[in-house]
Structure 1
Amino acid sequence: MAQDGYFDQTECHRITTSGIYVLQCGDPTATGTGGPAYSYGPIENAPADDVYPAGTLAMARVGGDGESMGSQFFIVYDDSTIPSDSAGGYTVFGQVTEGLSIVEGVASAGTITGESDGQPAQSVILNEVSVS
């Protein structure tokens, strides 16, 4: 998907600033409901202790459904314990190697509503995503 430009010019639609610390991206509609016309699983590489260190890249999915991954993913910007559910944890696929401070800055701006979970107050656009 990254090689085909799927994520290019997409907006990250969700930031959480309490309990778990993630910026969620990968939805071309920027609503949290969009994605490709397919889903996949199972969950892979999830930490056994449910601790996702800062910089972790992991796939978002529907709660309780380990076969529901599509295009949405999250960037962990502060160490977070994200509890497994009946399907397990969340597929870890990478690590931020540079620029995590940008996500931390977005988090410090909070959400547009002031709640701890919602649309980021500071817009985040993925200009280009590459995999190496």
Structure 2
Amino acid sequence: MLNLIRFFQVIRIKKLLVHKQLFLWAAIVWAGIIAFFCLVQLNSVPLGSVSNIDKYVHAFFHFVLTSFCYLFLKNKMNSLNNYKPLAFSFLFSFFFGIGIEISQELFTATRHADVYDVSANASGAVLAVAIAVLFNKKRV
């Protein structure tokens, strides 16, 4: 009987580890997507008629990045306090966005750093944090 319990505990732990790693890999892949689209020349991409659509794209990118980081850290830390994973997720997304903007200025000839992009990045990260806080309050 004891061996059967251990067997199911091992299976449960493996499933949890896969679940945690899924969010980590999603965050890494998403960060790579952000870096690719922010550092590659995209002059031939039709952006439509929405003014400042790139700011919405920046906000979306960092909303998703912050969400993936939060889900990974929340599961990794296993704490009831959700504010530490939220703070780390926000800070990572914010400084990653600043790093991308600096990279655009230093390493590309067609892209330039923009303070408004940084604020759009922060807006997406703040929105992700706000939704996570609201969702966690409703669950408690």
> Is TM (by shorter chain) over 0.5?
no
Which has the larger share of strand?
Answer: 1
TM-score calculated relative to the size of structure 2: 0.23
Larger radius of gyration: 2
- Please identify which structure carries the higher helix content: 2
